[in-house]
Structures are given as C-alpha cells and as structure tokens.
Amino acid sequence: MIPATLVLLALVDGALIGFRSGAGRVGLVGKDAHMRRAVLLGVLAAALIALGGIVLAFALTLLPGRERWASLEAGGAAAVTVFGPFAGLMVASLLVWLVPITELRTLVTVSLLGPGTLLRPAVIVLGMTYAFARVPTWEVAVLGAYGASEMLLVEPWLTRRFFPIDPRLVPPK
C-alpha cells in the first residue's frame, strides 16, 4: 500500500509540475491544449521517475542481507506522513477552483497554491529526511536521495526542454 501511495503522490506532483512548467509560457488566449500537454508531460515524467524508483527498490531488495523491503516500506510510510498532508492541502486548494467565484479562486491561489509551490522543495527534502531519521538504513537513504533529487530536478528540466518562454512575451531590450 505504501509504494502505491508514493507513486500516486508522485503522479499528482507530476501533474502540478507540468502545470507550473507550462503556465505563463505562451501568449495564446486559448491555452487548454497547451496546458493539457503540460500536465500530461509532467505526469509522464513523474511516472518514469516512479518506475525508476520501483526498479531501484526491487534491486535493493535483491541484495543479500537483512529484510530490506520492510525497511523501505517503513521509510516510505514515514515519508507519506510528510507528503500526504501537503499533497492533500494542494489538491483541496485545486478543488476550490471548481467553485465559480473568481475572488475565492484568487484567494486560494495567493494563500495556498503560490506558497505551496515555494515550499515544495523543502517539503520533499523534509519528507526524505524524516524517512531516513525514522529508518536510518542505507537503502532508505539511497531510494530517498533518488526520489528527492529526481522530483526536484524534473520541473526545471520540463520547463527548459518543453516550455521555453514565447519570444513575443519578452519585452524588447
């Protein structure tokens, strides 16, 4: 259950990463197709990272020695205690966008989604640090370092690779 929860959290994070990577990058009035593509690319990138994490976790469990899967699962459970509430708050904030009141949407964006974007790297590092503090094994450290580094690097990569700023949006020098 813990691995599935971590994958789900990664996919939700990927969708948000994709949205942020694509937002404000084109001068189109109708941005629906652009934003759908951005979200899809974010989810695909997160899915590839999650797949890499699954392969790494299974490879770690094949090494000789004590029970590694239980260690990884306990570390994952500790990480979920940090990531879960943060992700829940972000998803709840997005659900407010279903309410057709512009002022409420703006309030949620300014008070929760914006700061959440700034806090995301710290939450990722905190979650992985907490996982290692609860289960101080090298396999938790390796898998946590992989997950944290990849999830922190994917947003800048997506932005540079797929969503350069439209030159028409840059003021002339």
Write a three-state SS string for 111-150: HHHHHHHHHHHHHHHHHHHHHHHHCCCHHHHHHHHHHHHH
Structure tokens at 53: 């994490």
Domain that holds residue 7: 2-167
On whether residue 172 sits in a domain, the answer given is no
Question: What value does the CA radius of gyration of the chain take, rounded to a whole number of Å?
Answer: 18
On whether residue 173 sits in a domain, the answer given is no
Nearest to 41 by CA among 12, 14, 23, 6: 14
Q: What are the tens digits of pLDDT across the range 127-171?
A: 999 999 999 999 999 999 999 999 999 999 999 898 887 777 778
Place of tokens 């370092």: 145
Does the predicted TM-score (pTM) go above 0.95? no
On whether residue 63 sits in a domain, the answer given is yes
Domain tally, the chain: 1
The angle at the Cα of 37, spanning 31 to 39, to the nearest 5 degrees, equals 100
